[in-house]
Structure 1
């Protein structure tokens, strides 16, 4: 059985989080006291999806402040939900181009890099074709 792709918009709805756009100096912002995620208008669809998943990570993990530690945890949260392992392995077997992997997965290079930092060694053994792409994707994270 194949799982449905992660939909951060649906997840936000299930969690009762409001998602709005606002002009600001950040791409995204979690406001815990309001139960609100703000996204900068004008983001590309892939960016918006990844940033929303990251901000949901802050909400689910109970973050109330932005620190290097909470940002890294929210990055990992988003990457684990957005990257489909089977689809990534298929992409890795087809090409060594990490940019192509991220496009096929519908994620940013940053999200892909975070995922590969955590799972890269195991995936490289399974994917076998793409050590160059794997190294370049990791450098983005």
Structure 2
């Protein structure tokens, strides 16, 4: 188990979330039951997929998501969970390094980072490049960002 896997397990432990392994319906990899503080994962997943699914399901708990059949709400919950997971699985420094190393090839970057392609894409979605500076999770107003990287 890697350091990031230990970190995710510790997040679950601190939040009182129990992780169970079971065959899931409809071929799913993970499910969250926020009201019962349970995450169910499909057993036997490769390490990269397991890590990403666990982080994604932890995000649903962090936001208190309740599954919705209403398309726009469901889409927002899923996008937000992927972005939350990406920000915990990828550091700006690691992203910058692998982006240069693999000339921006998303698949190769994902393998190098030990995550799935969707997580790299979610990380890219929270970036804003303005001139020679990249901002992570920018918001309106001066100085409102999670991280700033000069890339000139």
Structure 1 length-normalised TM = 0.79
Q: What is the aligned partner in structure 2 of residue 75 from structure 1?
A: 82
Q: What's the Cα RMSD here? A: 2.1
- Pick the structure with more strand per residue: 2
Give the unaligned 5+ runs of structure 1: 129-141
> Against the structure 1 CA distance between its residues 51 and 102, is the aligned structure 2 distance closer, same or farther, given a 3 Å change threshold?
same
Q: Which of 30, 33, 36 is the equivalent residue of 1:31? A: 33
Choose between structure 1 and 2: higher helix proportion. 1
**What corresponds to 1:102 in structure 2?**
110
Instruction: Return structure 1 stretches of 4+ with deviation > 4 angstroms.
Output: none
Q: Which runs of 5+ in 2 are unaligned?
A: 69-73, 136-148
114-123 or 78-87, which deviates more:
114-123
Taking CA–CA contacts closer than 8 Å with sequence separation of 6 or more, which of the two structures ends up with the larger relative contact order?
A: 1
TM-score, length basis structure 2: 0.73
1:21-73 Cα deviation digits (max 9, x unpaired): 11012110001232100001121111111111110100011111141111111
Between Structure 1 and Structure 2, whose CA radius of gyration is higher?
Answer: 2
